[in-house]
Structure 1
Amino acid sequence: MKTILIITAVFPPEPIVSSRLSFDIVDNLKKDYKIVVLHPCPTRPYGFSFDRKVTKTEQYEDILIDSYVCPQSKILGRFYESYSFGLHCKKYIARHRNDFSCIYVNSWPLFSQALIVKIAKKYNIPCVLHVQDIYPESFTNKMKSRFVSCAIQSMLLPIDKYILNNVTHVLAISSSMKKYLIKKRKVDENKITVVENWQNEDEFVAYENRKRLNVDNSVLSFMYLGNIGPVAGIEFLINSFAKAQLKGTRLIIAGSGSRKQACMELAEHYQNVMIEFKDVPDGKVPEVQSGADIMLLPLKKGAAMSSIPSKLPAYMFSKKPIIGSLDMQSDTARAIIESDCGLVVEPENEQALINAFKEAVQWWNLEVLKRKGENGFDYAMKRFSRKHNLSLVTKIIKEYAF
């Protein structure tokens, strides 16, 4: 039986979308191929506690790589994390180079990707790279100093160009990402396939079918669920919600991340505003989101331009209206507008978000909330479902696993 190597930076039990994507791919391919999975010690999201032991399975070979890990948002730590994981994977591939018919890579940018692509090319092993974000731009665009940003970008950009032009096939997660890579990296458009990240719609549908109706009509609940990190801009969300001074409402921040403690401290300054923080156990996203009336999707300027955040389909599958504070020209904004499932305002515009909150309060009509939620669900089923997108990825991998 042919063997496919799956290299993934995150893997269950890590309760994040990219982890689940890799598992879904493994679960699908194991029916027809021998599968080997390489992944580091689970650490994401920051703040979660994991058992280092990997659950044994006879369905695929699960190998825990003892590479350096850095769940905190530290530049040098993240760079070394990527390099360390890539170096371990490179050595493993070199030792077992005659075993694999294809390699699928969903790894940390950029150093691990470069090391893996280079060794795969050396031994003529087809390599499929799943690009989750555009680097170094995604990293350098956050920097305040334009000089430092340009300097670092000039050093890292050649690495990304090498990766994308030497890998066998590229999976881009949005049409805008594909266009950008073709234009800026000079990648042949025929080697890039757009496959949008998915959520397992079955989990949301199953929860919807078994849940008991328990609606608290006295409080309108706004919720953000996801990673509480620098890109999300949760501090901005908290400040805007508090300044809106909305009666009979509450804000729920669900999830973990490097900025959670800072956000909790900020919320304490607003004693007269209902702001709650919740953890999200693995597999409990549908249940936690069921406690919301309206979901919130804030992103800093530029953060939404290259990809659609995994929160969007999760929100839609929960049948909840959405308020987005993000780039108006992004695929994410277009999805919310086209589906008629909510509102979108300019990112980091406090007054615009406050006005959106106030407009949402005017929606306090169960019929309207239900209709917008259903609109988002129907849209997500056609575009973001596992049933639709998983097969696109595995089909490409199988084409190279000859």
Structure 2
Amino acid sequence: MAESGARRRLLLVSTNYAPEHAGIGPYATQIAEHWAANGDEVHVLAGMPHYPAWRLDPEYARVWRTEERRAGVSVHRRKHLVPPRQSAVTRALFEATVLGHGLLAPPAMDRPDAVIAQMPSLGGGLVGARIARRHGVPYIPVVQDLMGAAAAQSGIRGGGRAASAAGAVEAYALKRATLVGVIHESFVAKVAAMGVPEERIRLVPNWSHVKRPSRPREEMRARLGWRPNQTVLLHSGNMGLKQGLEVLVEAARLDPALRVVLMGDGNQREHLRSLAGGLPNLEFAPPADDDAFPDMLAAADALAVTQRASVLDMSIPSKLTSYFAAGRPVVASVAAEGGTAQEVERSEAGIVVPPEDPRALLDVVRALADDPGRADALGARGPEYVDAHLSREAGLARIDALLAEALGAPRETPPEDGEAREPGTAGGTGEIEGAVGK
């Protein structure tokens, strides 16, 4: 084990990594670059860039193995299947190729001091556990989502059988961990039910990783072609099965005066476009670049987060902290008992409506449009919540504390301002859309 203050050699296993800009990728990247900036020797075992479009980046089309140097981090990429359509079989093949190539060609590096793995990638989690075991070093998975629960609730063919198999693999990997980080308290009971003692589970919420808006809203709306008096409801991020974005298509159909913008990519994009049938008030926008993204969010009148009714308590979408930072009210069409609803209500920055109910969603959007003062007040609470609980500094400090404890340091006391909380208490948020059907 590295001595306190000594340069550590760390391996982070994360299928998703920069240049991916959504989901797990930004968090894995910021963690690795943070450690490298602090003087550690950092290696990342990653997949090929493909998310959220679920299309392989053309630059990597003929690449099987490569090593890159990014911001002081050695990134070891391994080829894997990128299925354009999600099913239990294709997801299993995806994970199998991540696992197989990771075990056959682990990073060429000296013995690490610790191995950290971002889950829900089952293949990545198993690779991390095997490498840590081979070197006799701490293994620390960070649970961004639970694949077993996701498979059970995804609605894809074979989901029940996939859930059983995925749950068994998850339990195998998590029970071998020195400590387990979870991004939301709603994961604690599920991880404990897999056989992980609760005293080995630590809450490490994600953080807001985007800049604050910098352009005037009116200027950005004019650039985007949005009329000043037009109500704009925007959804950003992955267009996958579990998002249930059909609710937004139907909301646009019910109210021709409402402009609904679906910004992003994903394997359901063409299905949604076909379902819309050319609705003039439904816009499909490509993912915004990092500089324009915060301003585009802030230009909307309301920001939508949606999940199917069956998606409960096992996923916190990656867009949520970005929405909070944008300063616009959030309309969450999600299950009231789930972690997403908990975060929206805890922040007091939005309103929760029943999932897959376009009329309920539309009623809230109309009410906010009719009461701009209320909309602005809700939106203003988002940045306040980010400043109080979701800063990058606080999030990285939690990850640092998790790693230090796994390496033998005494457990740190959570800060008094509530930025780190014990499992089972209120607070924090997670960001991930990494489940089956994403």
TM-score tier by shorter-chain length is: 0.7 to 0.9
> Are 1:27 and 2:36 an aligned pair?
no
Secondary structure of 1:223's counterpart equals strand
Give the match for residue 132 of structure 2.
120
- What is the aligned counterpart of 2:207 among 194, 198, 223? 198
> Are 1:297 and 2:309 an aligned pair?
no
Give the match for residue 318 of structure 1.
326
> How far is the alpha carbon of 1:170 from its aligned partner?
1.1
Which amino acid in the other structure matches residue 39 of structure 1?
Answer: A
Secondary structure of 1:197's counterpart equals coil
Give the match for residue 110 of structure 1.
122
**Does the 8 Å contact 2:117/2:142 carry over to 1?**
yes
Give the match for residue 142 of structure 1.
154
**Does the 8 Å contact 1:36/1:60 carry over to 2?**
yes
Give the match for residue 416 of structure 2.
none
Aligned residues: 388
> How far is the alpha carbon of 1:71 from its aligned partner?
5.1
> Are 1:232 and 2:264 an aligned pair?
no
Q: Give aligned-pair identity as a percent.
A: 20
- What is the aligned counterpart of 2:72 among 59, 64, 81? 59
**Does the 8 Å contact 1:246/1:358 carry over to 2?**
no
Give the match for residue 100 of structure 1.
112
Give the match for residue 381 of structure 1.
387
- What is the aligned counterpart of 2:177 among 164, 167, 172? 167
Give the match for residue 391 of structure 1.
397
**Does the 8 Å contact 1:40/1:69 carry over to 2?**
no
Give the match for residue 336 of structure 2.
328
Give the match for residue 43 of structure 2.
36
> How far is the alpha carbon of 1:194 from its aligned partner?
1.1
> Could you tell which deviates more after superposition, 172-181 or 299-308?
299-308
Which amino acid in the other structure matches residue 26 of structure 2?
Answer: R
**Does the 8 Å contact 2:218/2:228 carry over to 1?**
no
In 1, the alpha carbon distance for the partners of 2:35 and 2:177 equals 21
Give the match for residue 100 of structure 2.
87
**Does the 8 Å contact 2:119/2:146 carry over to 1?**
no
Give the match for residue 194 of structure 2.
185
In 2, the alpha carbon distance for the partners of 1:144 and 1:319 equals 35
Which amino acid in the other structure matches residue 180 of structure 1?
Answer: K
Which amino acid in the other structure matches residue 167 of structure 1?
Answer: A
Secondary structure of 1:233's counterpart equals coil
In 2, the alpha carbon distance for the partners of 1:360 and 1:289 equals 16
Give the match for residue 145 of structure 2.
133
In 1, the alpha carbon distance for the partners of 2:185 and 2:177 equals 19
Q: What pairs up with 1:246-395 in 2 under 5 angstroms?
A: 247=257, 249-271=258-280, 274-283=281-290, 284-363=292-371, 365=372, 367-395=373-401
Please, which runs of 5 or more residues in structure 2 have no aligned partner? 1-6, 61-65, 222-226, 409-438
**Does the 8 Å contact 1:280/1:288 carry over to 2?**
no
In 2, the alpha carbon distance for the partners of 1:71 and 1:24 equals 27
TM-score by length of 1: 0.88
In 1, the alpha carbon distance for the partners of 2:294 and 2:154 equals 32
In 1, the alpha carbon distance for the partners of 2:87 and 2:179 equals 30
Which amino acid in the other structure matches residue 238 of structure 1?
Answer: V
> How far is the alpha carbon of 1:394 from its aligned partner?
2.2
In 1, the alpha carbon distance for the partners of 2:54 and 2:140 equals 31
1:5-30 superposed Cα distances (whole Å, 9 cap, x missing partner) = 11111111112131110111111111
In 2, the alpha carbon distance for the partners of 1:57 and 1:154 equals 38
In 2, the alpha carbon distance for the partners of 1:142 and 1:212 equals 36
> How far is the alpha carbon of 1:188 from its aligned partner?
0.8
Please, which runs of 5 or more residues in structure 1 have no aligned partner? none
1:276-308 superposed Cα distances (whole Å, 9 cap, x missing partner) = 111113413213213311111111124241232
Secondary structure of 1:36's counterpart equals strand
Which amino acid in the other structure matches residue 117 of structure 2?
Answer: V
Instruction: Provide closer, same or farther for how the CA distance between residues 150 and 40 of structure 1 changes in structure 2, counting only shifts above 3 A.
Output: closer
